[in-house]
């Protein structure tokens, strides 16, 4: 099965990003494909490389970057939501890219299921 993933919440204020990450990791482990992970609303904060969590906390941005690199995931950040939050290409973590809502539509069209994490 091929999944599209939509992450609507930031990395440290809601469980949605952690849940999405664990879902993607488990799905890949079971042999499923991930068409795209799209970060929208506050979810764009998952792509900010300037985030510095305490050393005893998980680094969600780094986790997404590493998972994306290991599996060739398309990690797309909504341009409008990103700009509203001051996120530009210069602050994107490795593996993330900025694009428009058309990428979310495409993920929905080309995936068997579009799974939404967060409100």
Active site residues: 78
Residue recorded with tokens 């700009």: 83
Angle at 38 between CA 96 and CA 119, to 5 degrees: 130
Element spanning 35, H or E: strand 33-39
Element spanning 67, H or E: helix 60-71
């Amino acid at each position: 099965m091929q999944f599209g993933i939509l992450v609507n919440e930031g990395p440290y204020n809601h469980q949605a990003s952690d849940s999405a990450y664990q879902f993607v990791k488990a799905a890949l482990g079971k042999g499923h494909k991930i068409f795209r992970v799209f970060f929208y609303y506050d979810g764009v904060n998952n792509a900010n490389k300037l985030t510095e969590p305490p050393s005893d906390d998980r680094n969600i941005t780094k986790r997404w970057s590493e998972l994306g690199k290991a599996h060739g995931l398309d990690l797309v950040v909504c341009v409008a939501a990103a700009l509203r939050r001051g996120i530009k290409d210069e602050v994107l973590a490795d593996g993330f890219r900025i694009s428009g809502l058309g990428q979310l539509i495409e993920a929905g069209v080309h995936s068997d299921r579009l799974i939404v994490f967060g409100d």
